[in-house]
């Protein structure tokens, strides 16, 4: 059975090849898959681009911010990534990589470029990735923010590849294969990165873990 989005008029338009840019309303676009939206963006359809931004901005901003340990740089990276998306959509191959994997890879490459440029400048754990401005709003509990800050600090202290692996699997929720694809490693190498990253995090967050689980060390 075909997925529901393939049966919509929009999808039929898309298969016929030339829907008018901006013709569909946002509600109808929301049921389309990322791949279908990318095809439409490739034909210059701005509303489809908007839906992709709404779907993927927050997660990728979190990912970039954690890789770079800096919110402002994370924001610059996602802007560059969406510019690449808009410009590259016309050459998008629906049969290739999944959109999510491809886009995380774009964001990761931009992060790696920036990390290379500032290589040598170590980010101290206490200074890294202040998540205070990531959690806005009056309901943001101080304790929760402190916990988040400590986890972000511990993540920032990991070597880059381990941080990438841990972020993709445990924070971004990618499957093992997707994470391995983004990192361009095999599953065995991913397992090794996760084992080392997870062990380092446990060591750094041991007190927090005991506090939250009620276990006395």
Partner 1 sequence: MDEFRTLLDAWGADAARWPRERQADAQALLASCEEARLLLADEAAFDALLAALPEPTPGAALMQDILAIPRTARQDGKARGRWFSILPALPRFAGLAAATLLGFYIGTTSLFQPAQSMAADAETVNISDYVFGEGIDAGSVDGEAAE
User: What does the binding site for partner 1 look like in residue numbers (CB under 8 A)?
Assistant: 44, 46, 49-50, 53, 57-59, 61-62, 65, 71, 74-75, 78-79, 82-83, 86-87, 131, 133-137, 144, 147-148, 151-152, 166, 169-171, 175-176, 187, 191-192, 194-195, 198-199, 201-202, 205, 208-209, 212-213, 215
Q: Which is nearer to partner 1, 36 or 51 (CB)?
A: 51
Q: Which is nearer to partner 1, 14 or 134 (CB)?
A: 134
Residue 81: partners with Cβ closer than 8 Å, 6 or more residues away:
60, 64, 103, 106, 107, 110
CB of 214 to partner 1, least distance (A): 9
Return the structure tokens found at 120: 């040598």
Q: What does the alpha-carbon distance between residue 30 and residue 39 come to, in Å, rounded to a whole number?
A: 14
Give the length of the chain: 217
CB of 182 to partner 1, least distance (A): 15
Q: Which is nearer to partner 1, 32 or 200 (CB)?
A: 200
Does residue 182 contact residue 174 with C-beta atoms inside 8 Å?
Answer: yes
Burial 115-124 (b: 16+ CB within 10 A, else e): eeeeeeeeee
CB of 54 to partner 1, least distance (A): 9
Other CB atoms within a 10 A radius of the CB of residue 98 amount to: 16
CB of 71 to partner 1, least distance (A): 7
């Amino acid at each position: 059975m075909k997925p529901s989005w393939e049966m919509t008029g929009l999808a039929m338009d898309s298969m016929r090849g030339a829907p008018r840019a901006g013709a569909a309303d946002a509600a109808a676009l929301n049921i389309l898959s990322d791949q279908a939206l990318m095809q439409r963006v490739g034909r210059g359809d701005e509303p489809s681009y908007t839906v992709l931004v709404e779907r993927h901005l927050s997660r990728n901003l979190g990912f970039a911010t954690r890789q770079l340990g800096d919110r402002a740089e994370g924001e610059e990276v996602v802007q560059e990534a969406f510019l690449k998306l808009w410009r590259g959509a016309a050459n998008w191959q629906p049969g290739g990589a999944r959109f999510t994997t491809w886009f995380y890879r774009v964001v990761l490459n931009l992060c790696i470029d920036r990390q290379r440029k500032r290589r040598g400048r170590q980010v101290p754990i206490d200074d890294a990735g202040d998540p205070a401005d990531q959690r806005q709003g009056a309901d943001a509990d101080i304790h929760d923010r402190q916990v988040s800050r400590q986890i972000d600090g511990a993540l920032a202290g990991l070597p880059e590849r381990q941080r990438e692996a841990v972020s993709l699997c445990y924070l971004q929720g990618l499957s093992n294969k997707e994470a391995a694809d983004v990192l361009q490693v095999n599953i065995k190498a991913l397992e090794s990165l996760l084992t080392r990253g997870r062990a380092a995090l446990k060591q750094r967050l041991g007190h927090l873990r005991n506090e939250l689980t009620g276990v006395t060390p």
